[in-house]
Structure 1
Amino acid sequence: MTRNIVAILRGITPPEALTIAGTLIECGITKIEVPLNSPDPFDSIGQMARTYGADALIGAGTVLTPEDVTRLKDAGGALVVSPDCNPAVIEATKAAGMLSYPGVLTPTECFSALRHGADGLKFFPGTLIGPEGVKAIRAVLPKDTEVLAVGGAGPENFAEWKAAGADGFGIGSALYKPGLTATDIRERATRMVAVFDEVFGG
């Protein structure tokens, strides 16, 4: 199964990019974003896309401008994740043939994102809106809208988020933070995949 877990590798550096990406993919996490406020993010993304692009969805997070979208496309990325709902970024992403997941928190932002072509919605920060907030907004969204909870979601509450209508999660420091070894990440990813599969019926 393709698990709807997006690994957020904030702070990753190019020398460790392939090792970390390979570890995550081996564990069954095949959606990976490198936030653009990481060191040399396009280098890391380019390495991952060339090596693992056939096996995983590789892209960028914290994408704030159409220029960032262009650079990501040139690096071989296929996924654009943002902390905000910027119609110009969404439209540039779709024009480039990539997947768009803008950050939203209100019904107005949700519907603006969808009208401009977003492939899914990233509820961020999830800690602010919580499962109950997602459940309330989910009730008015088109039924096929893909909803990711980011910030405040982890194995301990996957079931609660799923019950509220979340289809998946963006996971940052619970999976990766600078200083963790590949062994550390393998342990975290293995547990996360096991809980996800249990909750979502993998």
Structure 2
Amino acid sequence: MDTPRHIIAILRGITPAEIIDVCKALIDAGITMIEVPLNSPDALTSISLASNTFGDTAMIGAGTVLTKKQVLAVADAGGTFIVSPDTNKAVIEETARLQLASYPGVFTPTDAFRAIRAGATGLKFFPAEVLGPKGIKAIKAVLPPELPLYAVGGANPGNFAEFFAAGCVGFGLGTYLYKPGMELSQTAEHAALAVAAYDRGQAQ
């Protein structure tokens, strides 16, 4: 698998019946990090279907992961990364133990260092629209420089450049890319716009 763009598609509310078509649209557009939040209908089935179908070309993971038991279930379903809304030490450590990538949600320097000490792969700044690029830039100054930072919650193609300038490497995109009832063509169109904005921002 090529090095992916650091765009995580957050498919909250996706169903097993939709997962293959939506994943294909995203992957065709160039988005190869796909998160199925565990509070979606039958999420583990969707993760298993996506992993079995696209595991060679995309990273399929889970979001809204709150317990060690859920981490294990995601691993069993073929997921390769875990996104959690908080800095739950047990969840991060279990994710690392199972050799999955861990992207916990953080908002403060205290959160960030708790996550780093537990073994996080990268940090999800959430909600990024509240912290803003200035807040993230200020916190990044005290973090290990090589640690990947993602802006989630308010990040969109219109502000990618600002978050790149603040030190983020990537983004989580939710309802911009998918929400229940959204036409597949709109998902594909928005994915293409996101990829174009990401590539422009990286080139600057």
- Please tell me the TM-score bracket, short chain as reference: over 0.9
**One of 150, 161, 172 as aligned partner of 2:152:** 150
Residue 53 of structure 2 corresponds to 51
Residue 128 of structure 2 corresponds to 126
**One of 190, 199, 202 as aligned partner of 1:200:** 202
Deviation of residue 56 (structure 1)? 0.4
Residue 43 of structure 2 corresponds to 41
Deviation of residue 185 (structure 1)? 0.7
- Note the aligned Cα RMSD (angstroms): 1.0
Residue 17 of structure 1 corresponds to 19
**Secondary structure of the corresponding residue to residue 136 of structure 1:** helix
1:114 aligns with 2:116: yes
Deviation of residue 128 (structure 1)? 1.6
Unaligned runs of 5+ in 1: none
Q: What are the Cα deviations for residues 80-99 of structure 1, in whole angstroms up to 9, with x where unaligned?
A: 00110000000000111100
Unaligned runs of 5+ in 2: none
Deviation of residue 2 (structure 1)? 2.1
**One of 87, 90, 93 as aligned partner of 1:88:** 90
**One of 66, 69, 76 as aligned partner of 2:68:** 66
Residue type at the aligned position of 2:12: R
Q: What are the Cα deviations for residues 166-202 of structure 1, in whole angstroms up to 9, with x where unaligned?
A: 1100000011111112211111111111111111129
Residue 164 of structure 1 corresponds to 166
Normalised to the residue count of structure 2, the TM-score between the two structures is: 0.97
Matches of 2:38 and 2:127, distance apart in 1: 18
Residue type at the aligned position of 2:27: I
Matches of 2:18 and 2:203, distance apart in 1: 32
Q: What are the Cα deviations for residues 84-126 of structure 1, in whole angstroms up to 9, with x where unaligned?
A: 0000000000111100000000001101100110000000111
Q: What are the Cα deviations for residues 31-64 of structure 1, in whole angstroms up to 9, with x where unaligned?
A: 0000011000000000000000110000100000
Residue 138 of structure 1 corresponds to 140
Matches of 1:54 and 1:94, distance apart in 2: 21
**Secondary structure of the corresponding residue to residue 119 of structure 2:** coil
Runs of 4+ that moved beyond 6 A: none
Matches of 1:78 and 1:49, distance apart in 2: 9
Same amino acid, percent of matched pairs: 54
Normalised to the residue count of structure 1, the TM-score between the two structures is: 0.98
Matches of 1:84 and 1:128, distance apart in 2: 16
1:30 aligns with 2:32: yes
Residue 2 of structure 1 corresponds to 4
Residue 187 of structure 1 corresponds to 189
